Amino acid sequence: MPSAFWRKSPRSPEFGADFHTGHCSCGVLGHTRAMRVSDFTVDAERLWSGAPQWEAPLAFVDLDRTVPTPDMNIALPPCPVIGIGDAENPLASKLDAVVEAPVAAEIIASQVDAMPNAAAAIVQLLRILPELSPEAGLVAESMAYGMLQGSAEHHRWQARQAGDQAHPEKPGRIDLERDGAALVIMLNRPEAGNAIDRTMRDGLREAFTLASLDQTIKTVSLRARGKAFSLGADTTEFGTTGDPARAHAIRSRTLPANAVLGCADRLDVHIAGACIGAGLEIAAFAHRITGTPNSWYQLPELAMGILPGAGGCVSLVRRIGRQRAALMILSGKRLSARQALSWGLIDAIVDQPA
């Protein structure tokens, strides 16, 4: 078998390098013992297109011990492939992500091992999104989301939530204020952390459609009342449409992200406090995003057995790139305002927008 890589040091034959001693409390391929990150580590030569396919639900590649050759021809397995080490290694850009602070390899291993099918769907979607238009990307995202809605992993998460769901808060509201050529769109459900329910979803769709069609609107600003920008989608409404195909059809007509595309170049967003899930997914389409010093950002969907389905796979890839989007989604890790700024997720840290 021709090798596209030369290894600087030997590896264990089954799972790869012993370079990392971190542990995660998870099980792979049916095992329940605590696993080390090294248990998921693959020799880079196993990524050669003619090699036997890697069968674990996750693969780490030690970029510090891998030297690519000019004839490198890799084929990623249908699972997350994550680099650890030298981000300047030419192989790094071909992987799904490269570990960097504040995300740790152990967190990814634990998250992926708990929801391996969802994690696989996420990276396979992210791999194709850079080649698609935003409109086509939203269709692909919605179909992948619908598939995962019908998965055993998501159903297990739903079963665990069944007894814990709080009584629904009163419906939310989207307030609009027009001042000349400026339109302000306000999330108004502070008592529920601006969790986006069906009423707010439809209101956002209508507001962004208005902004897209009315070219006399020169600036569109998205703001939120209360201490949190948004806690994401209202999880009490999850599962209300049991047929994934029907759910996809509904999203195709009602998803606010489809309307946001028409005014994204005029949209600015200011974020205070928590910006989670759907709230972040919509915001990330904006031309400019500012956040307060105490703002923070998170995509927790993998732990639910699904993926960001409010446009986030598309918007995050466009804003911070495929690899950092994968890090956020696969880890579920919170980003502080400072970290979000360094990644390009937000454009400035300010107390109040200009």
Written as six digits, the tokens of 109 are: 């291993």
Q: What is the pLDDT of residue 23?
A: 45
Closest by Cα among 187, 314, 198 to 247: 198
Distance between CA 233 and CA 127 in Å, rounded? 25
State which amino acid sits at residue 256: P
Q: What is the pLDDT of residue 72?
A: 67
Query: Is 227 a residue whose pLDDT tops 60?
Result: yes
Query: Is 282 a residue whose pLDDT tops 90?
Result: yes
pLDDT tens per residue, range 95-153: 999 999 999 999 999 999 999 999 999 999 999 999 999 999 999 999 999 999 999 99
Instruction: Quote the mean pLDDT of the chain.
Output: 88
Topology of domain 131-159+171-349 in CATH is 2-enoyl-CoA Hydratase; Chain A, domain 1 (3.90.226)
What would the mean pLDDT of 314-340 be, rounded to a whole number?
Answer: 98
Q: What is the pLDDT of residue 38?
A: 85
Q: What is the pLDDT of residue 191?
A: 96
Beta strands across the sheet bearing 97-98: 59-62, 81-84, 97-98
When mean pLDDT is compared across 26-40, 136-150, 166-180, 214-228, the lowest value belongs to 26-40
Query: Is 61 a residue whose pLDDT tops 50?
Result: yes
When mean pLDDT is compared across 70-74, 147-151, 323-327, the lowest value belongs to 70-74
Residue boundaries of the structural domains of the chain: 5-114, 131-159+171-349
SS3 state at 174: strand
Q: How confident is the model at residue 226 (pLDDT cuts 50, 70, 90)?
A: very high
Share of the chain above pLDDT 90, in %: 74
Q: What is the pLDDT of residue 22?
A: 45
Distance between CA 280 and CA 295 in Å, rounded? 11
DSSP 48: B
Closest by Cα among 36, 58, 46, 202 to 119: 58
Q: 52 versus 68: which is more confidently predicted? A: 52
Q: What is the pLDDT of residue 46?
A: 83
pTM score, whole prediction:
0.88
What would the mean pLDDT of 70-94 be, rounded to a whole number?
Answer: 89
Closest by Cα among 236, 270, 254 to 310: 254
pLDDT tens per residue, range 299-314: 999 999 999 999 999 9
When mean pLDDT is compared across 141-150, 164-173, 288-297, the lowest value belongs to 164-173
Q: How confident is the model at residue 6 (pLDDT cuts 50, 70, 90)?
A: very low
Share of the chain above pLDDT 70, in %: 87
Written as six digits, the tokens of 348 are: 């400035």
Distance between CA 306 and CA 68 in Å, rounded? 34
Q: What is the pLDDT of residue 35?
A: 62
Query: Is 10 a residue whose pLDDT tops 60?
Result: no
pLDDT tens per residue, range 197-216: 999 999 999 999 999 999 99
Show the DSSP H helices in 36-133 as ranges: 105-114, 116-128
